[in-house]
């Protein structure tokens, strides 16, 4: 049975986002709760998450944040490492299904009620003291502090692999964003995304070539985008996708080397 999460009502989302700016840095823990009277659940479709389960999810992610420097300002390497560890926790421990994960107000609750202190640490205010709304409200789930991590873990999860989450460590933030930002054409097919990341991982000879892995990846993505205009890439098996992506990547590398 799927697990249903609280959905923070829009008015409360706006109120709590304003609160982020009213509370001084280092004191956002005062906003933390595992319940809000201004949150609702889907009427059907699963079992409601318990407060104990929410507390457990918070504890796991908070512990991971502390291992990566929280509450002190994190370095880029610490932030990236935290993202990978937190993605695994969110996917494993939340037991969330894609339909629930597609609900923006679920992520608003998690960022603004359950984990505001961690999200503020991961995505601090800019030089003018303003927080980016997309990171907290869930207006764009590809940019949300937590939703983007769950999505990555869900898409890159390989249940049969020795380490089911090993693909999370292959690409850096910028390169993975290049893929996930193309959600309508590429990121909507988890099998294709896994094939792209596997081909990047396995292209060991690239270290000996003049063309950078990032350039090859981006050229590969552009070529795959053109293919989606007349191929349904949800149909092929994983083996067929691997074969296709490796061929396209080889062509992309050859083109860039000219």
Q: Is the predicted pLDDT of residue 122 greater than 80, yes or no?
A: yes
**Mean of per-residue pLDDT scores for the chain:** 92
- Mean pLDDT on 6-32: 97
Select from 158, 182, 205 the last residue of a domain.
158
Does 163 reside within a domain? Answer: no
Question: Is the model more confident about 6 or about 176?
Answer: 6
Does 247 reside within a domain? Answer: yes
Host domain of residue 142: 1-158
Write down the pLDDT at residue 185.
Answer: 59
Write down the pLDDT at residue 229.
Answer: 79
Domain tally, the chain: 2
How far, in Å, CA of 99 to CA of 46, rounded?
Answer: 11
Q: Is the predicted pLDDT of residue 113 greater than 60, yes or no?
A: yes
Mind listing the pLDDT tens digit for each residue in 190-231? 899 999 999 999 886 655 566 788 899 999 999 998 888 787
Question: Is the model more confident about 152 or about 177?
Answer: 152
Does 233 reside within a domain? Answer: yes
Mark whether 76 and 174 lie in a shared domain.
no
Question: Is the model more confident about 227 or about 182?
Answer: 227
Does 211 reside within a domain? Answer: yes
Mark whether 31 and 74 lie in a shared domain.
yes
Three-class DSSP labels, the chain: CCEECCEECHHHHHHHHHHHHHCCCCCHHHHCCCCCCCEECCCCCCEECCHHHHHHHHHHHHHHHHHCCCCCCCCHHHHHHHHHHHHHHHHHHHCCCHHHHCCHHHHHHHHHHHCHHHHHHHCCCCCCCCCCHHHHHCCCCCCCCCHHHHHHHHHHCCCCCCCCCHHHHCCCHHHHHHHHCCHHHHHCCHHHHHHHHHHHHHCHHHHHCCCCHHHHHHHHHHHHHHHCCCCCCCCCCHHHHHHHHHHHHHHHHHHHHC
pTM of the model: 0.92
In sequence order, the β-bridge partners of residue 39 are 8
Give yes or no for a contact between 171 and 144, defined as CB atoms under 8 angstroms apart. no
Write down the pLDDT at residue 235.
Answer: 79
Write down the pLDDT at residue 233.
Answer: 77
Select from 129, 158, 187 the last residue of a domain.
158
Mark whether 33 and 126 lie in a shared domain.
yes
Does 74 reside within a domain? Answer: yes
Mark whether 123 and 179 lie in a shared domain.
no
Mark whether 146 and 256 lie in a shared domain.
no
Mark whether 120 and 216 lie in a shared domain.
no
Mark whether 148 and 178 lie in a shared domain.
no
Q: Is the predicted pLDDT of residue 26 greater than 80, yes or no?
A: yes
Does 164 reside within a domain? Answer: no
Q: How confident is the model at residue 187 (pLDDT cuts 50, 70, 90)?
A: low
């Amino acid at each position: 049975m799927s697990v249903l999460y609280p959905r923070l009502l829009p008015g409360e989302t706006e109120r709590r986002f304003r609160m982020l700016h009213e509370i001084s840095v280092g004191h956002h823990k005062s906003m933390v709760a595992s319940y809000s009277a201004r949150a609702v659940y889907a009427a059907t479709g699963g079992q409601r998450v318990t407060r104990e389960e929410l507390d457990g999810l918070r504890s796991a992610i908070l512990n991971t944040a502390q291992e990566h420097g929280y509450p002190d300002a994190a370095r880029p390497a610490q932030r990236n490492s935290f993202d990978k560890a937190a993605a695994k926790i969110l996917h494993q421990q939340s037991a969330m299904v894609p339909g629930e994960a597609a609900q923006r107000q679920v992520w608003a609750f998690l960022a603004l009620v359950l984990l505001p202190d961690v999200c503020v640490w991961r995505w601090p205010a800019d030089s003018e003291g303003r927080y980016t709304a997309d990171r907290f409200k869930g207006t764009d789930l590809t940019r949300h502090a937590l939703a983007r991590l769950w999505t990555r873990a869900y898409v890159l999860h390989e249940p049969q692999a020795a380490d089911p989450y090993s693909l999370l460590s292959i690409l850096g933030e910028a390169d993975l964003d290049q893929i996930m930002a193309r959600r309508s054409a590429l990121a909507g097919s988890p099998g294709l995304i896994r094939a792209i990341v596997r081909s990047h991982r396995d292209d060991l000879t690239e270290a000996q070539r003049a063309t950078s892995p990032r350039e090859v990846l981006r050229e590969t993505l552009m070529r795959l985008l053109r293919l989606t205009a007349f191929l349904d890439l949800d149909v092929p098996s994983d083996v067929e996708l691997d074969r296709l992506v490796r061929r396209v990547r080889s062509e992309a590398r050859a083109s860039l080397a000219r």
